[in-house]
Amino acid sequence: MTDKHSDTTHFGYQTVATKDKAGKVAEVFHSVAAKYDIMNDLMSMGIHRLWKRQTIASSGVRKGHRVLDLAGGTGDLTAKFSELVGDTGQVILGDINDSMLKVGREKLRNLGLVSNIEYVQMNAEALPFPDNSVDVITIAFGLRNVTDKDKALRSMYRILKPGGRLLVLEFSKPTHESLSKLYDFYSFNVLPTMGQLVANDSESYKYLAESIRMHPDQDTLKAMMVEAGFEQVDYQNMTGGIVALHRGFKY
């Protein structure tokens, strides 16, 4: 976590200037954007689709809603939300990285999803929307890359309508030591090798593994959401805690 008054923060296991982190994260995602979907399937053996399906099921999204799919990348959640909100609703695919947005836009247009989707490049720490203007926010595998997570959570809380909800799908801390050891071996040995073979980029996938380890665990993130103003905050561990889905409401 970034100290609010600190000039440095973490980038994976490295310590970098706080002002430089967003640029370094951007370089990673510029590099991996073109192969992002295929690597997601390979890295998770397809299980990421089940994690996202559970997120959608927990979102409460319905016709007419305005949904922000933050750090939405290549648009997996946006595609489903587009169907759920219908012609009277809107889905905003927001990402800080223009390479990811371009891949997402092309993919969704190829699926014929056009009318109710907007694409906006944005920083999670300063969301470009009025107060109380969004029904649901999802951020899947994006919060760990944000420099100031507390500031981002407050920004999300600000733009949610009363009664709205935030869902954070993110890698977390495995609940069993044996699984944790196996996961560490996979993350730091298999993952970078896979990244090199498929995306010709082992360093970006090394960073992704490190960023997961530096992300707050389940209870810490829950406390951060409460601190930002969210109520009825809970989380659901999936795949033994490798991933957790946090949910909080604004009243």
When divided into structural domains, the chain yields a total of 1
* Residue 38, domain member (yes or no): yes
Look up residue 46 and give its two tokens.
Answer: 């397809």
Question: What is the pTM (predicted TM-score) of this model?
Answer: 0.89
Long-range contacts, stretch 33-38, CB < 8 angstroms, 24+ apart: 33/74, 33/97, 33/99, 33/100, 33/102, 33/103, 34/99, 34/103, 34/199, 35/198, 35/199, 36/73, 36/74, 36/100, 36/103, 37/74, 37/103, 37/107, 38/198
- What's the mean pLDDT in 102-128? 95
194, part of any domain:
no
What is the domain range of residue 54? 32-175+207-249
- pLDDT higher at 73 or 143: 143
Q: Return the minimum-mean-pLDDT range out of 35-39, 62-66, 126-130, 153-157.
A: 35-39
**What are 182-218's pLDDT values in tens digits?**
999 989 998 889 888 887 888 888 888 899 999 999 9
| pLDDT of 160 strictly over 50 | yes
Asked whether residue 155 is assigned to any structural domain, the reply reads yes
Please indicate whether residue 236 or residue 192 has the higher confidence score (pLDDT): 236
Q: How confident is the model at residue 29 (pLDDT cuts 50, 70, 90)?
A: confident
> 26 among the known binding-site residues?
no
Q: In this structure, is residue 4 part of a structural domain?
A: no
Residue 57: inside a domain, yes or no? yes
184, part of any domain: no
Annotated binding-site residue? 74:
yes
CATH number for the domain harbouring residue 119 = 3.40.50.150
- The mean pLDDT value for 37-47 works out to 83
Q: Sorting pLDDT into bands at 50, 70 and 90, what band is 10?
A: confident
- Residue 180 belongs to some domain of the structure: no
Task: Using pLDDT thresholds of 50, 70 and 90, give the confidence band for residue 5.
Answer: low
For residue 172, pLDDT beyond 50:
yes
- 5 within domain boundaries: no
Q: How far, rounded to the nearest angstrom, does the alpha carbon of residue 89 sit from its chain's CA centroid?
A: 22
- 124 assigned ligand-binding residue: yes
